[in-house]
Amino acid sequence: MNPEPAAETNSAARRLRLATLTFPPAGLWLLWRGPASVWRKLFGTLGIGLFSLVYAAAVLFLLHKFAGLRFEMQGRPIPIPTWQVTDYARLEKARAEKAVPPAAPSVATEAKTKSLPYWTDFRGPNRDGHYTEQPINVDWAKSPPKLLWKQPVGGGYASFVVADGLAFTLEQRRDSEAVTAYDIATGREVWAHSYLARFNEWMGGEGPRTTPTWHEGKLYSLGGTGQFRCLEAATGKLLWQHDVFAENSCSNLFFALSASPLVVEDKVLVLAGEPLGRDGRMLIAYDKVSGAPAWKALEAKAAYASPMLVTLAGERQLLLHSASHLLGVSPVDGKALWRFPWHVEFDNTIAQPIVTGTNRLVLSAGYGTGAVGLELQRTDKGFTAQERWRNKFLKNKFTSSVLHGGHLYGLDEDILVCLDAETGERRWKDGRYGYGQVLLANGHLLILCGDGDLALVQALPDRHVELARLPAIKGKTWNHPALAGGKLLVRNAIEMACFDLSAK
């Protein structure tokens, strides 16, 4: 036997192994350039493919361990690697530099206090994502939105409410939750009310999920660990507080309490999670001034959508989701008037109901659920909710849709879709926007995309027309935008920004 070919074969095998260990694609290239049979090459390709999985996992682990790479859920079942992480030292330094005392508001803030507050609730005055306060600029090609300010913000998925020249939100700062107020003209922090509380779960990350509610000079805030607080909106002074879990025999939800407080006449209502035992209740009412408990109702587990005050079939009522039903509830005592079965996988009912007529509404959810159109009818025994249509054309996952001109506009997972609200017929589906949020203003859709971009789309039932898209903030963005006085406020768990959308 000639030793030279054997030595050459062994050398080639060593080169192949070394190349594969160093960089698997290089090993694959050498394998297919070599003289081996096709079957050996196919078998070797399979082996290199399996090794590549181990190789990739090792690289990601090293980047995570030594270079700061993180993994976050961005809507898909598989976590996405990202370098966008919160730098708390930078946050605290930036806040210290921007902080201003409450006694020295800006001139713009003083001017704003003379106007009536408008965007004081989650998703606007009616919690429906509609902005009707004043016309906005929709000619972004000629006059792009002007960035007024941008700065770091703490973690969580809260949105903003706006009143008296201040923008209020709820954020995570290290091991504390902070209810915060910012000068809407400058972005400078005016006050922060902090307390030890930290919610965290591996899929959504850390931080509170709810948006505060402003009402008659008071701010109502429900944190991720059940801390319900009423603050003086101008100064951040604590007026009263409750621990909704301890006081109402409830436990937290897997993704934390996510329903914003709702003020109804002289009461403020909160959803307290999952009732435990005979004394547990989900819907809790407090006196909005004194904070004294008024009544509690409903033994079902709460979902993640916020309660809404509406009038359907001639009856003023609350719409709220439990983990298994949509409920029509009396705002006087919390008694259930009617219920419709609505269960989403993992109890993830997140999207708000959409009122489409005097006695009609639409529900939507992701996780393969789809949408359903309902008609509420009054009977001798009360109310019944009858299904009019059902399909899987609109799957709101972390977002809610809006109604315009008899049509629904919303994200089917991450693609924009238009449905006929009467029949459920899909009119069109186009444009990818990630797991973002939709707001309606001036017959246009303002879409805060899942990656922080801001898009402007005409709300047309016959076609998809995106007019413009621009970068707003960076990183995963599931927080709903807020719009007041022509100023658009956007945020995620890393940064926030304010744009001027006032019509020129």
With H, G, I as helix, E, B as strand and everything else as coil, classify residue 359. coil
* pLDDT, tens digit, 9 for 90 and up, residues 247-274: 999 999 999 999 999 999 999 999 999 9
DSSP 345: G
Q: What are phi and psi of 29, to 5 degrees?
A: -65, -45
Q: Which two tokens stand for residue 19?
A: 């190349």
Quickly list DSSP for 133-201. Answer: SS-B---TTTSPPEEEEEEE--BS----EEETTEEEEEEEETTEEEEEEEETTT--EEEEEEEE---EE
Q: How far apart are CA 75 and CA 73, in angstroms?
A: 6
Where helices occur in 3-78 by DSSP H, the ranges are 3-22, 24-33, 38-66
Q: How many CB atoms lie within 10 A of CB 9?
A: 13
* Partner residues linked to 468 by β-bridges: 456
CB burial string 277-290: b at 16+ within 10 A, e below: eeebbbbbbbebee
Is the separation of the CB atoms in 187 and 98 below 8 Å? yes
Average pLDDT, the chain: 91
CA distances from 179 to 19, 436, 483 (A): 55, 24, 19
Distance CA 151, CA 180 (A): 14
- pLDDT tens, 402-419? 999 999 999 999 999 999
Percentages helix, strand, coil for the chain (3-state, rounded to 5) are 15, 40, 45
State whether residue 370 is helix, strand or coil. Answer: strand
**Are 173 and 156 within 8 A, CB to CB?**
no
| pLDDT at residue 90 in the model | 59
The H or E element containing residue 93 is helix 88-98
* Cα 504 → chain centroid: 31
Instruction: Return the pLDDT at 236.
Output: 98
**Total number of residues shown for the chain:** 504
pLDDT < 70: residue spans in the chain: 1-9, 71-74, 77, 83-114
pTM of the complete model: 0.88
User: What number of other Cβ atoms are within 10 A of residue 111's Cβ?
Assistant: 12
Residue 475 one-letter amino acid:
G
SS (H, E, C) 232-254: ECCCCCEEEEEEHHHHHCEECCC
Q: Which amino acid is at 87?
A: D
CB atoms within 10 A of CB 425: 13
Pair 207, 172: CB distance under 8 Å: yes
Write down the pLDDT at residue 91: 57
d(CA 363, CA 350): 10
Q: Residue 302 carries which DSSP code?
A: B
